[in-house]
Chains A and B, each alone.
Chain A
Amino acid sequence: MRQMTGARMVVQALKDQGVEVVFGYPGGAVLPIYDEIFQQNDIRHILVRHEQGAVHMAEGYARSTGKPGVALVTSGPGATNAVTGLTDALMDSIPIIVISGQVPTFMIGTDGFQEADTVGITRPCTKMNWLVKDTAKLSETIHQAFHVATKGRPGPVLVDIPKDVQFATALYTPREEAKTSHYQPRVRGDEDQIAKLVDLIETAERPVFYTGGGVINSGRTASVLLRDLVAETDFPITSTLMGLGSYPASGKNWLGMLGMHGLYEANLAMHGCDVMINIGARFDDRITGRIKDFSPHSKKAHIDIDPSSINKVVRVDVGIVGDVTLVLEEVLRQWRARGSKTNRAALPKWWAQIAEWRAVKCLTYKNSSTVIKPQHALERLEALTKGMDRYITTEVGQHQMWAAQFLGFEDPHRWMTSGGLGTMGYGLPASIGVQVAHPDALVINVAGEASWLMNMQEMGTAMQFRAPVKQFILNNERLGMVRQWQELLHGERYSSSWSESLPDFVKLAEAFGCKGIRIDDPADLDEAIKEMLAYNGPVIFDCRVEKHENCFPMIPSGKPHNEMLLGDADTQGVIGSKGAVLV
């Protein structure tokens, strides 16, 4: 136990928690903490250009390492700018710790300069938050914050620290002496429920594994166990956007992503299965489509660490609350002990059916020799980066869905995308967070020009901290997904969905001091991508693509899985007025 100021406690507690890097932006109410950061060399500080960027960078760091990410912001606007990132992390269950400065305790409630009710504003978008009014409680609260952020279903937390609390001194409580929290979520699945799941595995005629971000959040062992289970049962497997990489895209049982823009074979397998095994996913509305017609003939099992996820939107037959790793261990143990049985008579018929669906080749698109198709650009990016130590982030929209369809992920933690909240402006700062965690890896942000502009100021951060992130912008001068919906749903009235007065991205790159590349001829694509990959520094890659390409397959809102649209020919009058109400 040592006497020290609150500001020093913050830095000491972060060190005790193994934090290597903090993404942040200084301001009046956090100056004592910045002073402490200045006087040490263990924790690296990455100065962002906007606090939203800091939180997304912390998310990118967390998603690509499995460790919690940390952001440091000042009071008032610093904290309110962090709200989008916190909500993003809450929706996608990403462990991050945001430390915010606050006006001195005696000024709270007086509308002081840069005062905001930070814990009030962030309460609904954090897993937990604390306003620390007593320096003696500060170190314990920070240790508690790390505990809460990482245990159970991970999520964002915030610790709000008034400036006088940072200046005052008290005894520091080391991590191992901190009071243990009553917050100890259940991680071991109920063995009887697991036995019921094993029954289903043994008898299923048309099974499918439906996996999500929970497998990735559970840690690398979960992916290993999942791969064992898939290999030994020989069941087909699909995944949500968040779960890509937990099973390798090159694996023979892989059906591709499912959901609104998922693959035909994946969605029809979900619709037609008799046993659905949900591992760490949450029956999101992008996955289920119309609930009433969602996989109508299946028995459903659901493994989730969050009890409130079970039966939230889809009623399941077997609900298992627990950590994916521990539950899969127990599933494999029981199933193997019972002789590793599956319904071997029925499975070949199911695989034959899946082969028919695969033969539809739902990702087929009409390529062009005169204009770059976005799908083609991603296919070439995939081919030219195959086997590299590669991490992908994305913005939100059509490019995000194409990236999920056309890029293959062999391992977890390689794909960082804003799934639940759908935050445009996520990808660029996230890519910097990933690069900071993996300095020698290839980090590419697949972007649309509209999303990218939302946080483009962070190119300054990339330059300052030598993060050689590649910004692969599929530039269609449109808000592509909005435009697609307007075409299909709103009588082709393209209200405010085009990008006018776009910057010259090459000149913009030069202005930031990095490299800019522009191409619009498919013949130049490979060379340009190679040039981007070879450049030792950040690159803004302005890939001019077909402006009116639609993203298929697509399950229109309010439709079940078996009413997918495969291409433009299918789209006439498909979405009724009820569907138009849904997002």
Chain B
Amino acid sequence: MSALNIKKGSTSHSAYELRDPNGDLIESHTLAVLVDNESGVLARVIGLFSGRGYNIDSLTVAEVDHEGHLSRITVVTRGTPQVIAQIKAQLDRLVPVHEVHDLTAEGPSVQRELALFKVSGKGEARIEALRLAEIFRANVVDSTLESFVFEMTGTPEKIDAFADLMRPLGLREIARTGVAALSRGA
């Protein structure tokens, strides 16, 4: 298997390991995992998380290399530094896994999620929903006289914030894709 492409012990603030790996501090990490796009591979990755008691906060997967049949899994997970290190090592030793990148540890990254919101209402609530959508740069992708479907791309926090605002205005449904992420720079 390819060598683990992880800058061991680095954080976004320092080139050195400053944290106690046995500490209880829970961190959130975004991992990008390149895998063979074959049946059962996603089950093997998810099974690793459930079987060893790791958390999945968000998971997205799609084929990104149609010729090489490689899929990119973006998984947001939580744990102590030692647990995060284990998750990366456990993922990397799976046979169909080609590469594991810890986007949180390797430097700055961009994280985006797409969400659809169905908001129904009349009168002032409906106008307020549309006004807030403009502020958040959400697009209207469907509308009836009593409802909108907004489309929004952003960080999970931005999507959470928008959902909180829509709730009293008649939020009916949300669909979220989970996080897709890339490291910044060349």
Query: Is A306 a contact partner of B86 (Cβ separation < 8 A)?
Result: no
Which residues of chain A come closer than 8 Å to B96, judged between CB atoms?
Answer: 128
Question: Which of A181, A185, A308 is the one whose CB lies under 8 Å from B89?
Answer: A308
Which residues of chain B come closer than 8 Å to A123, judged between CB atoms?
Answer: 40, 43-44, 47
Interface check A336, CB cutoff 8 A: no
Which residues of chain A come closer than 8 Å to B22, judged between CB atoms?
Answer: 315
Interface check A348, CB cutoff 8 A: no
Interface check A91, CB cutoff 8 A: no
Instruction: Give the docked Cα–Cα distance between A120 and B44 (Å).
Output: 9
Which residues of chain A come closer than 8 Å to B2, judged between CB atoms?
Answer: 182
Query: Is B93 a contact partner of A311 (Cβ separation < 8 A)?
Result: no
Query: Is B89 a contact partner of A307 (Cβ separation < 8 A)?
Result: yes
Question: Which of A120, A181, A184 is the one whose CB lies under 8 Å from B43?
Answer: A120
Question: Which of A120, A131, A148, A315 is the one whose CB lies under 8 Å from B95?
Answer: A148
B89 to chain A, nearest CB (A): 4
Query: Is A124 a contact partner of B51 (Cβ separation < 8 A)?
Result: yes
Interface check B98, CB cutoff 8 A: yes
Query: Is B86 a contact partner of A182 (Cβ separation < 8 A)?
Result: no
Query: Is A308 a contact partner of B43 (Cβ separation < 8 A)?
Result: no
A128 to chain B, nearest CB (A): 4
In the complex, chain A residues 305-327 whose Cβ is within 8 Å of any chain B Cβ: 306-308, 310-312, 315
Question: Which of B3, B21, B40, B85 is the one whose CB lies under 8 Å from A119?
Answer: B40
Interface check A361, CB cutoff 8 A: no
Query: Is A315 a contact partner of B21 (Cβ separation < 8 A)?
Result: yes
Instruction: Give the docked Cα–Cα distance between A311 and B21 (Å).
Output: 10
Binary CB contact string for chain B from 58 to 83 against chain A (1 if under 8 A, 0 otherwise): 00000000000000000000000010
Q: Knowing A128-B96, A131-B40 touch, does A183 contact B21 (C-beta < 8 A)?
A: no
Interface check B12, CB cutoff 8 A: no
Q: Knowing A308-B89, A308-B93 touch, does A186 contact B1 (C-beta < 8 A)?
A: yes
Question: Which of A148, A153, A183, A308 is the one whose CB lies under 8 Å from B86?
Answer: A308
Instruction: Give the docked Cα–Cα distance between A315 and B2 (Å).
Output: 24
Instruction: Give the docked Cα–Cα distance between A310 and B4 (Å).
Output: 14
Query: Is B1 a contact partner of A182 (Cβ separation < 8 A)?
Result: yes
Which residues of chain A come closer than 8 Å to B3, judged between CB atoms?
Answer: 186
Instruction: Give the docked Cα–Cα distance between A554 and B39 (Å).
Output: 47
Query: Is B90 a contact partner of A308 (Cβ separation < 8 A)?
Result: yes
Question: Which of A119, A127, A131, A185 is the one whose CB lies under 8 Å from B1?
Answer: A185
Most chain A CB within a 10 A radius of its CB, from B22, B43, B89, B98: B89
Which residues of chain A come closer than 8 Å to B102, judged between CB atoms?
Answer: none
The count of chain A contact residues (Cβ–Cβ below 8 Å) is 24
Which residues of chain B come closer than 8 Å to A182, judged between CB atoms?
Answer: 1-2, 98
Interface check A129, CB cutoff 8 A: yes
Instruction: Give the docked Cα–Cα distance between A315 and B95 (Å).
Output: 25
Question: Which of B4, B39, B82 is the one whose CB lies under 8 Å from A307?
Answer: B4
Which residues of chain A come closer than 8 Å to B86, judged between CB atoms?
Answer: 308, 311-312
Instruction: Give the docked Cα–Cα distance between A128 and B96 (Å).
Output: 8
B109 to chain A, nearest CB (A): 23
Most chain A CB within a 10 A radius of its CB, from B4, B39, B40: B40
Taking CB as reference atom, which chain A residue is nearest B44?
A123
Binary CB contact string for chain A from 108 to 134 against chain B (1 if under 8 A, 0 otherwise): 000000000001100110011101000
In the complex, chain A residues 116-167 whose Cβ is within 8 Å of any chain B Cβ: 119-120, 123-124, 127-129, 131, 148, 152-153
Instruction: Give the docked Cα–Cα distance between A191 and B40 (Å).
Output: 37
In the complex, chain B residues 13-45 whose Cβ is within 8 Å of any chain A Cβ: 21-22, 39-40, 43-44
Which residues of chain A come closer than 8 Å to B44, judged between CB atoms?
Answer: 123
Most chain A CB within a 10 A radius of its CB, from B3, B39, B95: B95
A109 to chain B, nearest CB (A): 12
Query: Is A306 a contact partner of B43 (Cβ separation < 8 A)?
Result: no
A323 to chain B, nearest CB (A): 14
A138 to chain B, nearest CB (A): 15
- Please provide the 6 A-B residue pairs with the shortest distance between their CB atoms, ordered closest to farther: A308-B89, A128-B95, A307-B89, A308-B90, A183-B95, A185-B1
Besides A129-B40, A185-B1, 20 other A-B contacts (C-beta < 8 A): A123-B40, A123-B44, A123-B47, A124-B47, A131-B40, A152-B1, A181-B95, A182-B1, A182-B98, A184-B1, A185-B93, A186-B1, A186-B3, A307-B89, A308-B86, A308-B89, A308-B90, A310-B89, A311-B86, A315-B21
Q: Give 25 pairs: A residue, B residue, CB < 8 Å, sorted on A.
A: A119-B40, A120-B43, A123-B40, A123-B43, A127-B95, A129-B40, A131-B39, A148-B95, A152-B1, A153-B93, A182-B1, A182-B2, A183-B95, A184-B1, A185-B93, A186-B3, A306-B93, A307-B89, A307-B92, A308-B89, A308-B90, A308-B92, A311-B21, A311-B85, A315-B82
